[in-house]
Structure 1
Amino acid sequence: MKVWTISFQDKDGVQQTHNLELEHRPSEEEAAQHLRPILFPVVNELDLNDLDGRSNAPTAEILKEQNAVRIISIVEASEQRL
């Protein structure tokens, strides 16, 4: 399993990172779906049906437009062994 580092700008404009273990490089939507319950656990319970079928990345769009969270990059984390 590979480790991917998701860099994002949080609601306060501060750049943050979060690691995600996944076999393949996650899309922006997959990264957003992973981040949303961590950053906004209550919002995660909301229904996205209003964007279903109208957006390729409804979770990423909601995070950006309503929560001011923008995914900057998704890169494979380098494995560091000490």
Structure 2
Amino acid sequence: MKVWTISFLDKEGVQQTLDLELEHRPSEEEAAQRLRPRLFPVTHELDLNDLEGRTQEPTVKTLKEQNAVQIISIVEAS
């Protein structure tokens, strides 16, 4: 398994990182789905039905618009 480092701006605008172990490079949506339960455990339980299927990357959009969290980069850890 490879280790991928997700760099993101948290709700205070501070750059943070999270390491994920995956075989392939995660998309921004996959990274957002992994970030959300760690950053917002309660909202992770909420249903995104209003966005699912109607917009691309609903988790990325929700994190950015409602929680001010933005993914900056996804790179393989060295």
Which TM-score band applies after superposition, normalised by the shorter structure? Answer: over 0.9
| 1:54 positional shift | 1.2
Aligned-residue CA RMSD in angstroms? 0.4
Q: Percent identity?
A: 79
Over residues 23-45 of structure 1, what are the superposed CA-to-partner deviations in whole Å (9 max), with x where a residue is unaligned? Answer: 00000000000000000000000
The aligned counterpart of 2:50 is 50
Residues 14-53 of structure 1 aligned to structure 2 (within 5 Å) = 14-53=14-53
The aligned counterpart of 2:12 is 12
Question: 2-side partners of 1:77 and 1:2: how far apart?
Answer: 8
Bigger Cα Rg:
1
| 1:75 positional shift | 0.2
TM-score (norm. length: structure 1)? 0.94
4+ residue runs of structure 1 moved beyond 3 angstroms?
none
Letter in 2 for 1:65: E
TM-score (norm. length: structure 2)? 0.99
